[in-house]
Amino acid sequence: MNIFLAVLRRDLLLAWRGRSDLLVALAFFLIVASLFPFGVGADPVQLRAIGPGVVWVAALLASLLALPRLFAQDHDSGVLEQLLLSPEPAVIWVSAKILAHWIATGLPLVLIAPLLGLMYRLEPGATQVLIASLALGTPILSLIGAIGAALTLGLRGAGSLLALLVLPLFVPVLVFGAGAVDAWAGGMSIAPHLSLLGGGSLAALALAPFACAAALRLACE
């Protein structure tokens, strides 16, 4: 656990020092989510209908905006090669880097969701379901996105290629995340949607670090 905590602490410190980039992603999330009410009008019924989907699309795009920096800085400075040559299993420190990325980019989206719930006139129960779906779904975005970031590391046009790789894989997360709120509004059980999001997070947690470690070794060879 020493290497895990050391890498986690280091990445969080680097994220704090480069917080301007994180604030850009958060501002992008807020701006995208705020533009839709101006475009569709202030009808409460319509806002409640589109709100969960808009928030999830904005969260997906904001997460994608921060993904290229996940491994790029360490790759450019040579730290990534030193980590790969160290005796510690790569899966451990890769998991720490992904967790730090989620804390820096995904967790703020979860915390700011109640404000967007008020903007879209969501009922308190719907807002709570939205928060729960974001808390369960945004880790999947970071885990799957990390695989894409590792596969495109060092390539020309990596940002565009990364988007092409991971956006199709983000669609089920978007569907189940927004669908949980719609199910609550329709009086149906939200358990299937949240269970699928939770199961997806666990599956991604079990597989993504190994895939990232293998892709990073290929990128550094």
- Count of domains for the chain: 1
Average pLDDT over every residue of 176-191: 90
Q: What is the percent of the chain with per-residue pLDDT over 90, rounded to a whole number?
A: 29
Binned at pLDDT 50, 70 and 90, residue 204 comes out as: very high
Which residue pairs, CB below 8 angstroms and at least 24 apart, start in 180-187?
Answer: 180/52, 180/129, 180/130, 180/132, 180/133, 181/51, 181/52, 181/122, 181/126, 181/129, 181/130, 181/133, 182/52, 184/125, 184/126, 184/129, 185/48, 185/123, 185/126
How confident is the model at residue 135, as a pLDDT? 93
For the beta carbon of residue 42, count every other beta carbon within 10 angstroms.
Answer: 9
pLDDT digit string, tens, across residues 136-158: 999 999 999 999 988 888 777 77
Ramachandran bin of 155, using left for φ above 0, alpha for ψ from -120 to 50, beta for the remaining angles:
beta
- Its domain, for residue 58, covers 2-220
pTM equals 0.88
Cβ neighbors of 201 (< 8 A, separation 6 or more) are: 136, 137, 139, 140, 143
